[in-house]
Amino acid sequence: MLDEYLRGARVDTLVFAGCNFPNCPRTSIYEASERDYRVVLVEDAVSGLYDRGRREMLDVGVSVLSTGEVIAAVRELANVPVTTT
């Protein structure tokens, strides 16, 4: 089972992107939330996200971030310096 694998790997946060928010991503997000994972929805990397759906995610504790915000957070956690080109 995926949950067992993730827990065995000490994963506590899941980041979601994908197609057709009202179906697959939304359902997976609820499943992850019900299993007490921290959940991030990358709002500019998911199709079909609508205002009510975004509010619904925020209301259940999902962090709704942009791709840039997720990249910055991962870099910070990994202690990777940000370079400009």
CATH number of the 2-78 domain? 3.40.50.850
pLDDT, tens digit, for every residue of 45-61? Answer: 999 999 999 999 999 99
Quote the tokens at residue 81. 């310096």
> Which positions ≥6 away from 53 have C-beta within 8 Å?
21, 22, 26
pLDDT at 82: 62
Q: How far apart are CA 72 and CA 57, in angstroms?
A: 21
State percent of the chain over pLDDT 90: 86
- Model's pTM, two decimal places? 0.87
Q: How many CB atoms lie within 10 A of CB 10?
A: 6
Write down the domain spans for the chain: 2-78
